[in-house]
Amino acid sequence: MPDPPGEGAAERPAPGRRGRRWLLAAALTGTVPLVAIVAAAVAAGSLASGGGQGPVETGGFLQLGATGHFFLAAAAVLAAARAGGALAQRVGQPRVVGEICAGLALGPSLLGRLAPGVMDWLFPSAVLAPIDGLAQFGLVLFMFGVGRELAGMRLRGATGRALLVSQASMAVPFALGALAAVPLAAAFAGPNGSGAAFVLFMGCALSITAFPVLARMLTDLRLLRTEVGGLSLFAAAVGDGASWLVLAAVLAAAAGSAPMVVMVNGVATVLVVALFLGPVKRLLGRWAQRAGGGASESLVLAVGVAAAAALTAALGVHQLIGAMLVGLAWPGTAPGADTGPVGRFIRVADQLTATARNVLLPFFFFGFGLTADLGALDWTGPALPAFLVLLALAVAGKVVGPGVCAWLLGMAPRSALILGALLNARGLTELIVIQIGYDAGIIDAPMAAVLTLVALCTTMMTGPLLRLLRAAPEEEPRAPDRRPAEASR
């Protein structure tokens, strides 16, 4: 770009002086400064050696400061997530399964068992707090994304059948989880997990679906535009919305406060939810239409998410609920759409959610792995029966509940089974619920580990189960009339 041919010659025509000017410029701006710098350094060096103010640190080879060690730990967490994700993809599993396993492996479950010295050296307690900051920030941005996806599903496909299947996909596993929790409460309840709170939390834990994993699986299997795909997404969205509401109520009740505090917090929470879904959503929408922002939408998003998280945390509901509310209220909730001034809001939200999902969530998986010590589970005690019962009920509740419901309402048996298998993937969202329950003191660490195993097993069985169901004869009965419609999109 600089110095196009002939430029400048018109202003200074004298041709003979040109060489001298170049020399002068080079000397003035190169040689003279260099001499000055060397002179200054030498002068200061001799002054300092006179003053005797010597170096303080006595660094040896490869001495990492606190920040350097933080980056070493961060690199280990991210590299493990990358390796785990690639490995999972190679064996036909969603990447997130591998990333979760990598996070667990770096904690006491594996690395701490095999080489506790390495774990202590790699992750000294000083690096855990900054890593937690990245994990928490990534989590709220991720939950913001979940809220957006839920909001985007709100009105589409709300037929009677879809609503009934949604209800089944939530209520049946919820009931099974709650029933199973009654005998488990004595052994696995956390300090705040008194009676009803533990039972309702376990219901939530079994009824949640991994919305993002589900959506990616549907895309991978080319099921997104089929009846089963649409129905499962709708059921997951409505069912998860209901489960999060129940979870919020459970958390408010379990906060261990006086009844008066619980009541006031509960009313305040309802008001906050109404505020976000009503006035805040309208205001944001109007602001997006005016589109004054200019590169500050992402900052507004981050402020909103952090403030809402702090607000709901103060009300005794978990901070992630607040982040989800901002996602529900964010303008242009349908991800991918890109029309007019609202497009900027959509792009910024997509960008931040993608960053959180790809780069920050591994830090959450690592932190989660520090909590859920799978190796510390006492398999001779109640952990083994609890795991087996919960796994069986989790699968039964998701596959049988909505499956039977869809079959009763006229769906082919195989499609009904595929629907159930899809809803059975709990993945990452389940981990978030577990972390919330553990943070709130509703479940103890062994139950967190047991539920983690349930989450991993149900997520990992989804792929093979679907391949099995789809490999059987009479595949895709609606294929002939679906293909042209798909091609035209």
Report 197-216 residues binding a copy of itself (CB under 8 A). Answer: 198-200, 203
User: Which tokens in the block code for residue 304?
Assistant: 């909103």
Burial class of residue 169 in the structure, from the number of CB atoms within 10 Å of its CB (0-12 exposed, 13-18 middle, 19+ buried): buried
Q: Does 283 bind a copy of itself (CB under 8 A)?
A: no
- Out of 100, 249, 411, 417, name the contact with a copy of itself by CB under 8 A: 411
Q: Does 25 bind a copy of itself (CB under 8 A)?
A: yes
Q: How far apart are CA 339 and CA 346, in angstroms?
A: 9
- What DSSP state is assigned to residue 356? I
Q: Return all residues near 230 (Cβ < 8 A) that are at least 6 apart.
A: 157, 224
291 vs 300, beta carbon nearer a copy of itself: 300
Please calculate the CA angle 233-234-236 and round it to the nearest 5 degrees. Answer: 65
Please identify, among the stretches 77-85, 111-119, 380-388, 450-458, the one whose residues bind a copy of itself according to the rule CB under 8 A: 77-85
Q: How far apart are CA 84 and CA 111, in angstroms?
A: 14
Q: Which of 402, 462, 34 is nearest to 215 (CA)?
A: 462
Q: Does 194 bind a copy of itself (CB under 8 A)?
A: yes
Q: Does 405 bind a copy of itself (CB under 8 A)?
A: yes
- Out of 87, 113, 187, 196, name the contact with a copy of itself by CB under 8 A: 196
Q: Mind giving me the DSSP string for 340-355?
A: TTHHHHHHHHHHHHHH
Q: How far apart are CA 406 and CA 117, in angstroms?
A: 53
Q: Does 70 bind a copy of itself (CB under 8 A)?
A: yes
230 vs 341, beta carbon nearer a copy of itself: 230
Q: Residue 63 Cβ, how far from a copy of itself at the closest point, in Å?
A: 7
Q: Does 154 bind a copy of itself (CB under 8 A)?
A: no
- Out of 16, 90, 117, 186, name the contact with a copy of itself by CB under 8 A: 186
Q: Which of 179, 211, 158, 175 is nearest to 433 (CA)?
A: 211
User: Which tokens in the block code for residue 25?
Assistant: 């410029």
- Out of 143, 146, 189, 280, name the contact with a copy of itself by CB under 8 A: 189
Please identify, among the stretches 5-13, 279-287, 382-390, 456-464, the one whose residues bind a copy of itself according to the rule CB under 8 A: 5-13
Q: Does 240 bind a copy of itself (CB under 8 A)?
A: no
Pattern 100-139, binding to a copy of itself, x per CB under 8 A? Answer: --------------------------x--xxxxxx-xx--
Q: Does 95 bind a copy of itself (CB under 8 A)?
A: yes
Q: How far apart are CA 302 and CA 140, in angstroms?
A: 9
Distances (CA, A) of 6 to 13, 23, 26, 140, 174: 11, 20, 21, 57, 79
User: Which tokens in the block code for residue 142?
Assistant: 């991720």
162 vs 451, beta carbon nearer a copy of itself: 162
Q: How many CB atoms lie within 10 A of CB 298?
A: 17
Q: Residue 379 Cβ, how far from a copy of itself at the closest point, in Å?
A: 25
What is residue 476's three-state secondary structure? coil
- Out of 57, 336, 379, 472, name the contact with a copy of itself by CB under 8 A: 57
- Out of 116, 195, 381, 385, name the contact with a copy of itself by CB under 8 A: 195
265 vs 371, beta carbon nearer a copy of itself: 265
Q: Does 79 bind a copy of itself (CB under 8 A)?
A: yes
Q: Residue 459 Cβ, how far from a copy of itself at the closest point, in Å?
A: 18
# of chain residues touching a copy of itself (CB under 8 A):
156
- Out of 114, 115, 118, 179, name the contact with a copy of itself by CB under 8 A: 179
- Out of 106, 119, 143, 168, name the contact with a copy of itself by CB under 8 A: 168
User: Which tokens in the block code for residue 166?
Assistant: 């949604």
- Out of 110, 231, 342, 434, name the contact with a copy of itself by CB under 8 A: 231
Q: How many CB atoms lie within 10 A of CB 283?
A: 12
Q: Residue 176 Cβ, how far from a copy of itself at the closest point, in Å?
A: 8
- Out of 78, 97, 223, 466, name the contact with a copy of itself by CB under 8 A: 78
Do 150 and 348 meet the contact criterion of CB atoms below 8 Å apart? Answer: no
Report the DSSP beta bridge partners of residue 189. 443
Q: How many CB atoms lie within 10 A of CB 92?
A: 11
- Out of 171, 205, 394, 431, name the contact with a copy of itself by CB under 8 A: 171
Q: How many CB atoms lie within 10 A of CB 267?
A: 12
Sign of CA dihedral 116, 118, 122, 124: positive
**Residues 426-485 interacting with a copy of itself (rule: CB under 8 A):** 439, 441, 478
Q: Does 355 bind a copy of itself (CB under 8 A)?
A: yes
- Out of 87, 164, 277, 389, name the contact with a copy of itself by CB under 8 A: 164
Q: Does 192 bind a copy of itself (CB under 8 A)?
A: yes
228 vs 374, beta carbon nearer a copy of itself: 228
Q: How far apart are CA 133 and CA 120, in angstroms?
A: 20
- At 322, the amino acid letter reads G
Do 145 and 212 meet the contact criterion of CB atoms below 8 Å apart? Answer: yes
